[in-house]
Amino acid sequence: MTRSPCDGTAGQAFCDLHLHTTNSDGLMSPEEVIERAGRAALRVMSISDHSRTTYDAGLEALAAAHGTILLPGLEISTMHHDRKYHVLGYGHGVLDAKVQEFAFRPTAIKNDVYGRVLAGLRAAGTPLPATEDILAGVQEDGPPLHPRKWMLSATLIGRYLARPLDVDPVRAAAVVRERYNAMKSSERDRYVPTERAIAMVRDAGGIPVIAHPFWECHSGRNSWGGVVGDLGRFTAAGLAGVEVSSRHDSPADENRRREAAHRLRLVPFRSSDFHGNGKTAVGQFPMPVEHLIEAADRCGVDIPLHWSGKADDGE
């Protein structure tokens, strides 16, 4: 029998709270990601798309039908001084209108620049679909590929630019990226402040967690000491947890990251940061649900861990 990625001690329940869909920059629909979470036997999942929540009653019911609880979540692109951090927010508090508006700002700025790129291409006589059709993935035959998508990208636009330029989509995307880079503002202007994002999620009744905090250490834009120092300041702003293991991190260093989280009194999170691009699988870095409960308790957030759907564990 094939073992689930979340198989473990009998009676243990696991979650994966960092999953992306076609609504932002993932390659699979929300429905496909939910189905994979069910196959991975996840007790709790969260689709933490960039800048907005992928969550509604229909998706919640679909997850329940697969034996999984869907928790609202999102990922916010932030900057602290010159260092990038992604803030994950969990719980119904992140559905707050002010949090949603604040979280969407980085994507709104990117979309505006890509809109100007598209306007320039159209002004030069390049035939392109309407921007909303590009976002939706409109096809000549068949339904739109991703009708709820809200995030433009060079790769996405390149698919539609390839034919009029008579080049392959990769080259077309490079053309778009070159124009985008010439128009974009500074990173500091495109991102929101990390501490403010943490405070807003916490004040709205959500659980703030820093995703893959050490990811910029690989490029030299940050250091171990810099990250640990920043995490200390973020804790004072209300940070509840930190990812200690994901596809961005070396498994060999997980204990070191756990020790840092313990010293900072942060709950250690594990997650796949799944995008459907083959780099990771749903549930590949399973986290015990007890850690989610601990973070929720610290923030005074109620997580409805009732069990419904195809399975019943007696709770």
Quote the pLDDT of residue 11: 65
Looking at the structure, tell me whether residues 222 and 147 fall in a common domain. Answer: no
More confident residue, 1 or 38: 38
Q: How many percent of the chain have pLDDT more than 90?
A: 86
Please report which helix (H) or strand (E) contains residue 179, including its range. helix 169-183
3 domain-assigned: no
Query: Can you state the percent helix, strand and coil of the chain, rounding each to 5?
Result: 45, 15, 40
Average pLDDT of the segment spanning 276-303: 95
Chain centre distance of CA 142:
28
Note whether residue 315 is domain-resident: no
206 and 231 part of one domain: yes
Long-range CB contacts (< 8 A, 24+ apart) of 27-30?
27/275, 27/276, 27/277, 28/276, 29/146, 30/54, 30/59, 30/148
Q: Are 276 and 146 in contact (CB under 8 A)?
A: no
Q: Do residues 142 and 176 share a domain? A: yes
Distance CA 214, CA 226 (A): 9
Same domain, residue pair 199 and 231: yes
Instruction: Give φ, ψ of 20 to 5 degrees.
Output: -120, 150
Structural domain containing residue 198:
14-103+189-299
**Whether 145 and 219 share a structural domain:** no
Residue 216: which CATH number? 3.20.20.140
Rounded to a whole number, what is the distance in angstroms from the first to the last CA of the chain?
A: 27
Any idea which of 85-89, 198-202, 213-217 has the lowest mean pLDDT? Answer: 213-217
Q: Are residues 182 and 202 in the same domain?
A: no
Q: Residue 146 — very low, low, confident or very high, per pLDDT cuts 50/70/90?
A: very high
Q: What percent of the chain has pLDDT above 70?
A: 93
Is 231 found in the same domain as 216? yes
pTM attached to this predicted model:
0.92
Q: Answer whether residue 307 is part of any domain.
A: no
pLDDT of residue 189: 85
